[in-house]
Amino acid sequence: TIPPLVPSPPKGERVRVRGSLILSGPSHPARNMAVDEALLRCAQEEGIPRLIVRFYGWDRPSASIGYFQSYRAAQAACAGEAAPRFIVRRATGGGMVRHGADWTYSLIYPKNALAGEANDYQFVHSLIAQALKETLGWNDMAALPEELGHRGRIAQCFAQPSAFDLMRGTRKIAGAAQKRSKGWMLHQGTVDLGGDTEAIAGTGEAFARILEEHASAEISQRELTPGEEAQAKSLMESRYATEAW
């Protein structure tokens, strides 16, 4: 039995940070991943505690795979689908995710800016649940208890729910993967809205506002800086768009 989700404020000390919201729109899969890593690297180089929230989409049928997954296995899993998918490797772990009508987002922040490493995953999903309840009226969501989560390597992200994934009945609706690097976190998440693409904008707006309220951050919208854009372009060309990656 999965208990009802009860959002609670994070425990432990948090750093007061300034935040930014970047609305990227649909992009090439390789660029999507390159921008996320570029934002992480630039934030690390700058060294100023801040929270970056980014929403983005996919300009073609796509699938992202975890850092440790097999590209050939992903190709085999997608073989036979009506439309071929562009497969891109993430910098984060986790299983393969098919992208198209889902809402994808990323968070970049110092590791103690939200709730501490151990609680961030659950905390972010609790805020997503609040946003979904507000925008879509969903009241039947629950966080998967740790003891019921899939253990070991995950092949298909939405077919193998992990601890604290967001569930609606027996269906997983939100999952994420994280990368910890030099005291910073990259959190890449996706939410299955059941094909309701018109709900993406409203859900994103609600999530950003709720996150601002709960994460001790003041979030304002901005574009990529020239430095972030240059870093993303370099990473896309040297890594994410290459066969070797």
Active site amino acids: 157
Contacts of 213 (CB under 8 A, 6+ apart): none
Decide the pairing of beta strands 97-99 and 166-168.
unpaired
Backbone angles phi, psi at 36, to 5 degrees: -60, -50
Measure the CA–CA gap between 48 and 50, rounded to whole angstroms. 6
* Inter-residue contact 225 to 42 (CB < 8 Å): yes
Residue 113 C-beta-side C-alpha neighbours within 13 Å: 25
Angle of the 200-214 helix axis to the 117-136 helix axis, nearest 10? 130
Measure the CA–CA gap between 65 and 71, rounded to whole angstroms. 8
Query: Encoding tokens for residue 231?
Result: 């870093």
